[in-house]
Amino acid sequence: MVVLSQKDTLPTLLLLGLLSVCCLAELQRFEHAAKPDGSLSFLVVGDWGRKGLYNQSHVALQMGIIGEKLDVDFVISTGDNFYDDGLTGETDPAFHESFSDIYTAPSLQKPWYTVLGNHDYRGDVEAQLSPTLAKMDHRWICLRSFILNAGPEMAEFFFVDTTPLVNKYFTNPGDSVYDWKGILPRKKYIQNLLSEVETGLRESTAKWKIVVGHHTIKSAGNHGNTDELNILLLPILEAYDVDFYINGHDHCLEHIISTESPIQFLTSGGGSKAWKNNIKPWNPREMKFYYDGQGFMSVEMTQTDVGFKFYDVFGNELHKWSTSKLLGSAM
């Protein structure tokens, strides 16, 4: 039986109606302990796998240095892991050439919590999700959608498989062939996914709620906003007080503060090829930072404070921002 509370939003009610009484599945969960002092730090990189080219190796080197300095607990990849067309299979050498042999610094030998991007869907998606890759490189943790509870109960990360939500890959794929195994029927996949994310967010007691997806919600970059995510995902994020939405897809570094919601929108898609020189006009009151080049992001957090920083290929700090929450509030 499904018990509804006043906290249920319209999307939940719609989804429950559509799903009727059947099985509300839950997202797979992972736990990651904070450091002994209760803090947590991690790096975020996106849009990277180009066999070291387009400054991927330079970004990797600086990630290793900053990773060491912050003693990072893990790395998050925002997707588009392997260009141009994902992996051809479990034995595709690109896995080593673009991942294992590139991010070699000792500080980066930590779990890499990874989502898929649209380019990953152009290859054998199930290869990236396969335990065979994790056996070859124990860092690799890639699922379509999942929850990471860090702390415990300090931060909860909701990794969302955003590619299936975007219409154009289905209606107008061009010359690209997408691997939709496991996604069809699409409507049901999306309904289940949104329902699972909403259930996870509703039940979360973590101090900080962070949602990670490949596609943008708000971005002034080459791809810009993703309409489907603004319509389907953003209302759920707003209903459950998500603190940060972190994405890749636009090959830049970007920080947008919405004037309409308390969510910070962070793009870390500078893992390799960048410099699109195509920036759309944006309300300067919302646009805190935009960098049209390569780099990555770090996050440091405790129960009460979060700060993030963006870096370029030289390890220069380009932008930083932080916020606090009183202990015991905003549960």
Q: For binding to Zn ion (CB under 5 A), which residues are involved? A: 80, 117-118, 249
According to the binding rule CB under 6 A, does residue 142 interact with ligand NAG?
Answer: no
According to the binding rule CB under 6 A, does residue 293 interact with ligand NAG?
Answer: yes
Q: Is 223 assigned a catalytic role?
A: yes
According to the binding rule CB under 6 A, does residue 52 interact with ligand NAG?
Answer: no
Q: Pick the closer one to Zn ion by CB: 200 or 213.
A: 213
Residue 305 beta carbon to Zn ion: minimum distance, rounded to whole angstroms = 31
Instruction: Report the C-alpha gap between 150 and 32 in whole angstroms.
Output: 5
According to the binding rule CB under 6 A, does residue 83 interact with ligand NAG?
Answer: no
Residue 155 beta carbon to ligand NAG: minimum distance, rounded to whole angstroms = 31
**One of 32, 119, 215, 223 is an active-site residue; which one?**
223
Show the tokens assigned to 39.
Answer: 């803090």
Size of the site for ligand NAG (CB under 6 A): 8
DSSP characters over 234-261: HHHHHHTT--EEEE-SSSSEEEEE-SSS
Q: How many helices (H) and strands (E) does the chain have?
A: 9, 15
According to the binding rule CB under 6 A, does residue 54 interact with ligand NAG?
Answer: yes
Pairing of strands 74-77, 40-45: parallel
Distances (CA, A) of 247 to 23, 76, 96, 116, 176: 29, 10, 24, 11, 22
Residue 310 beta carbon to ligand NAG: minimum distance, rounded to whole angstroms = 13
* Residue 54 contact among Zn ion, ligand NAG, none, beta carbon within 5 to 8 Å by kind: ligand NAG
53 — phi, psi (to 5°)? Answer: -75, 175
Q: State the virtual CA torsion across 163, 52, 95, 217 in degrees, nearest 10.
A: -10
According to the binding rule CB under 6 A, does residue 316 interact with ligand NAG?
Answer: no
Distances (CA, A) of 210 to 134, 173, 194, 201: 24, 30, 15, 10
Tell me if residue 212 falls in helix, strand or coil: strand
Show the tokens assigned to 18.
Answer: 């559509």
According to the binding rule CB under 6 A, does residue 275 interact with ligand NAG?
Answer: yes
Q: Pick the closer one to ligand NAG by CB: 60 or 234.
A: 60
* Residue 234 contact among Zn ion, ligand NAG, none, beta carbon within 5 to 8 Å by kind: none
Rg (CA), the chain: 19
Q: Pick the closer one to ligand NAG by CB: 147 or 274.
A: 274
According to the binding rule CB under 6 A, does residue 55 interact with ligand NAG?
Answer: yes
* Residue 11 contact among Zn ion, ligand NAG, none, beta carbon within 5 to 8 Å by kind: none
According to the binding rule CB under 6 A, does residue 253 interact with ligand NAG?
Answer: no
* Residue 249 contact among Zn ion, ligand NAG, none, beta carbon within 5 to 8 Å by kind: Zn ion
Q: State the virtual CA torsion across 36, 40, 46, 48 in degrees, nearest 10.
A: -30
Residue 97 beta carbon to ligand NAG: minimum distance, rounded to whole angstroms = 17
Residue 289 beta carbon to Zn ion: minimum distance, rounded to whole angstroms = 20
Place of tokens 């803090």: 39
Contact residues for 125 (Cβ-Cβ < 8 A; gap 6+): 86, 116, 179, 181, 182
Residue 45 beta carbon to ligand NAG: minimum distance, rounded to whole angstroms = 15
Binding positions for ligand NAG, rule: CB under 6 A: 54-55, 274-275, 293-294, 312-313
